[in-house]
């Protein structure tokens, strides 16, 4: 039996997912978690989904290789990008053409950036296989992926020096204005 009154959460079911993309250590998960809580939406972190299903990312890279990780990552993105969610994507998720198409067609895409100096402080000892060689590897990877990030993004926020809470305020305001 249905009534003519909306139920809590009905509005979220028609709202496109918010996808946070950007380089490793940019703060996508931190922003995503706080933004989802603020908006009353579900949060998903695709790296975390892969870890829960398949084990630690460094182990996946070592034992199965990057190609297997990328396939599992693309599957996690597809499952996570549902209406009303806020999803933090791994830095390389945008390398998959199907993922890019899904982002273009179904999501509101936010690019989260960070400068090299701030990223260097964040990546130390973080178990990130692609940046085991440090900030030089991070810089190269970030530069290679940047054109893809910028092509997909509808808005950009930088976490280098701005507090996460202020960025969440700005994103919330932007999303509310956009969804009107």
Instruction: Please tell me the distance from the alpha carbon of residue 139 to that of residue 114, in angstroms, as a whole number.
Output: 11
Instruction: Please tell me the distance from the alpha carbon of residue 19 to that of residue 28, in angstroms, as a whole number.
Output: 9
What fold is seen in the domain 17-170?
Answer: Rossmann fold (3.40.50)
Question: Which pLDDT score is estimated for 9?
Answer: 47
For 43-66, how does the pLDDT look when each residue is reduced to its tens digit (9 = 90+)? 999 999 999 999 999 899 889 999
For 158, how many CA atoms within 13 A lie in the half-sphere containing its CB?
8
Angle of CA points 130, 92, 123, to nearest 5°? 45
Q: What is the 3-state composition of the chain as percent helix, strand, coil, each rounded to the nearest 5?
A: 60, 10, 30
Question: Collapsing DSSP states into helix, strand and coil, what is residue 107?
Answer: coil
Pairing of strands 18-21, 42-45: unpaired
- pLDDT at 4 exceeding the cut of 70: no
The pLDDT confidence band at residue 168, using thresholds 50, 70 and 90, is very high
Give the whole-number percent of the chain exceeding pLDDT 90. 73
The pLDDT confidence band at residue 17, using thresholds 50, 70 and 90, is very high
The whole-number average pLDDT for the span 28-37 is: 96
What's the Cα-to-Cα distance from 74 to each of 80, 90, 91, 145, 175, rounded to whole Å? 10, 10, 12, 16, 25
């Amino acid at each position: 039996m249905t009534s003519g009154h909306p139920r809590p959460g009905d509005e979220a079911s028609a709202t496109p997912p918010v996808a946070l993309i950007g380089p490793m250590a940019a703060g996508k998960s931190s922003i995503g978690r706080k933004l989802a809580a603020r908006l009353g939406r579900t949060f998903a972190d695709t790296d975390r989904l892969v870890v829960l299903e398949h084990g630690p990312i460094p182990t996946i890279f070592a034992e199965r290789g990057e190609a297997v990780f990328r396939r599992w990552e693309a599957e996690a993105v597809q499952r996570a990008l549902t209406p009303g969610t806020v999803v933090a994507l791994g830095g390389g998720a945008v390398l998959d053409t199907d993922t890019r198409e899904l982002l273009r067609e179904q999501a509101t895409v936010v690019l989260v950036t960070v400068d090299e100096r701030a990223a260097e402080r964040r990546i130390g000892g973080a178990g990130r296989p692609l940046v085991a060689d440090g900030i030089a590897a991070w810089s190269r990877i970030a530069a290679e992926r940047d054109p893809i990030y910028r092509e997909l993004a509808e808005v950009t926020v930088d976490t280098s020096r701005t507090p996460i809470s202020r960025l969440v305020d700005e994103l919330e305001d932007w999303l509310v204005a956009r969804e009107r």
